Structure 1
Amino acid sequence: MTTKDGNRAGRRGPYAKSEARRRAILDAAHAVFASRGYRGGSLQDVADQAGMSQTSLLHYFPSKSDLLMAVLARRDEITETANPADMAEGLAEVVFRTAKYNEDIPGVIELYTVLCAESLTEGHPGREYFADRFARLRQSYARRFTELQSEGKLRPGVDPQQAATSLVGLWDGLQTQWLLAPDEVDVAGSLRGFFDLVTLP
């Protein structure tokens, strides 16, 4: 191996170790924030969970808010890469498939639900993230419902924008109920019922 290759190998080692420690911190923060919320979970709690000092943690994430945003980005990565969209699918099929997939990642759903509710509090660093996310979802679903309307598949009198807003609210509410009573709440089934009400067979 040449010196140049040796240098490359040397760079890969520390980089891989750094990435592993960063991932360990994110996993620890995910667990802490999901169980205690952003306000209730401290950086020391995260450091303890990750098995490192708070000083070491701050080397990777300079502030608690930086850590929160990284955790939310990781949450999006998990849901998007492990459950990729199929452009050939219709809106209803995408919703049902995603709802079923979410049943296999209760920790991610718990994190989302806890932080979403907590983001309503004054000064919460995740507020903009959730506001933007809801706005994107409403816009995306409204566009899909409008397409269904133009294809004659939306029931008469159903407004695409209202249907989109209702879908977002229903889905989040169902997931919260499911977290509390997973054996009693069928998220995908209830969403299917919603689509039966707003779309034509």
Structure 2
Amino acid sequence: MTTKDVGRTAKRGPYAKSEERRQTILDAAHAVFAARGYRGGSLQEVADRAGMSQTSLLHYFPSKRDLLMSVLERRDEITSGAFPDDMEEGLADSVIRTALHNEDIPGVIELYTVLCAESVTDEHPGRDYFTERYGRLRASYGRRFAELAAEGRLRPGVDPDQAATSLVALWDGLQTQWLLAPDQVDVAKGLRGYLNLVILPGTDPTG
């Protein structure tokens, strides 16, 4: 290691430590918000879980709103692992794989479900996030269903946009039931059942 390398390592040290502390706070906030929601979870509780003072926490996240948005951003980064860039598969398989992927990530469904429900309340800072997210999901799945319709793979009378809206609603509803009774509700099975109702069987890779 050269003198220059030592200097570079020294410069990276404080940044690495700061980033580690930031991730610790996000982990703590994730757990608190998933259990108590945004309004019920306090910054002090997050700080206690992270093993620091609230003043130190605010050095990394100036407000509770900033912390929430960073938690949601990290949540998206975590769940993005279900979408490898090189994967080509049909809509049904993609949906089922994503559902199973999310179930294996501790707390991610709890966080999403609690904050999504809470976001409909007045002046909730996560409202725009969930509104925009639902819009993107409906548009994305609507395009996929439209592609299937163009290929003759959508059952007669099924509207692609309505099928997309119903899929998103069913998925959220199944996840809520799964959180309440995981031994009684199979999210992937429920989604597969719905998709089998609206998509005609076929041998090409879109199914």
Q: TM-score range by the shorter chain?
A: over 0.9
Please tell me whether residue 153 in structure 1 is matched to residue 148 in structure 2: no
CA distance in 2, matches of 1:79, 1:140: 17
User: How many residue pairs end up in the alignment?
Assistant: 200
1:64 is aligned to 64
Moved over 4 A (4+): none
2:4 is aligned to 4
Cα displacement (A) at 1:2? 4.5
Whether the 8 Å CA contact 1:143–1:160 is kept in 2: the answer is yes
1:105 is aligned to 105
Cα displacement (A) at 1:105? 1.9
Whether the 8 Å CA contact 1:33–1:41 is kept in 2: the answer is yes
Cα displacement (A) at 1:3? 4.2
Mind listing any 5+ residue stretches in structure 2 that lack a counterpart?
A: 202-207
2:83 is aligned to 84
Residue-by-residue CA offset, 1:62-117 (whole Å, 9 max, x unaligned): 00000000000110011003x22454101111001111122212411000000000
- 1:1-201 aligned within 5 A: 1-81=1-81, 83-85=82-84, 87-201=87-201
Relative to the length of structure 1, the TM-score reads 0.96
Identity %: 76
Q: Which amino acid aligns with 1:35?
A: A
Q: Which amino acid aligns with 1:84?
A: F
CA distance in 1, matches of 2:199, 2:83: 25
Mind listing any 5+ residue stretches in structure 1 that lack a counterpart?
A: none
CA distance in 2, matches of 1:179, 1:33: 15
Q: Which amino acid aligns with 2:156?
A: P
Relative to the length of structure 2, the TM-score reads 0.94
Cα displacement (A) at 1:5? 2.7
